[in-house]
């Protein structure tokens, strides 16, 4: 069974930091582009950040630029999202996803594997 499991979410005050992790199992994701998405109730899932299979190319939503950093450890089959200077509007369920495309992609439809999500709540 192919799984992506997120961890690291929680409750944090505005200005604080969280580091999300996503571990893959059941297969290697070392040849996949990876992404972090988030979703709030009633809203569409939106891309927060993405990274190519090599890790050399990254993409950030405007809302994440300068505050979030995506990285990956291919040997550990893990992708991370370091989130700093968190704001209440960052509150959402955060999902990890893997795309069979090796090149970076920002379209949710290009991602075939999804985790179940981890809740991030930022209090004001």
DSSP 3-53: EEEEE--EEEETT--EEEEEEEESS--TTSEEEEEEE-TTS--EEEEEE-S
Output the tens digit of pLDDT for each of the chain's 124 residues: 889 999 999 999 999 999 999 999 888 888 899 999 999 999 999 999 999 999 999 999 999 999 999 999 999 999 999 999 999 999 999 999 999 988 899 999 999 999 999 999 999 9
Question: What is the pLDDT at residue 27?
Answer: 87
Question: What is the pLDDT at residue 30?
Answer: 86
Question: What is the pLDDT at residue 120?
Answer: 98
Question: What is the pLDDT at residue 115?
Answer: 97
Question: Which residues lie below 8 Å from residue 34, measured CB to CB, with a gap of 6+?
Answer: 22, 50, 51, 70, 72, 79, 96, 97, 98, 99
- Give the residue among 108, 109, 110 at the shortest CA–CA distance from 100: 110
Instruction: Please give the helix or strand (H or E) that residue 104 lies within, else none.
Output: none
- Asked if 56 contacts 74 with a C-beta cutoff of 8 angstroms, the reply is no
């Amino acid at each position: 069974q192919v799984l992506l499991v997120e961890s690291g979410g929680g409750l944090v005050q505005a200005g604080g930091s969280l580091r999300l992790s996503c571990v893959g199992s059941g297969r290697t994701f070392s040849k996949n582009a990876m992404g972090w998405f988030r979703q709030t109730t009633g809203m569409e899932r939106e891309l927060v950040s993405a990274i190519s299979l090599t890790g050399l190319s990254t993409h950030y939503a405007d809302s994440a630029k300068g505050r979030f950093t995506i990285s990956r450890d291919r040997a550990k089959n893990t992708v991370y999202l370091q989130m700093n200077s968190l704001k209440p509007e960052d509150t959402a369920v955060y999902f990890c996803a893997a795309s069979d495309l090796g090149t970076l992609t920002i379209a949710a439809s290009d991602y075939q594997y999804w985790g179940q999500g981890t809740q991030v709540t930022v209090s004001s």
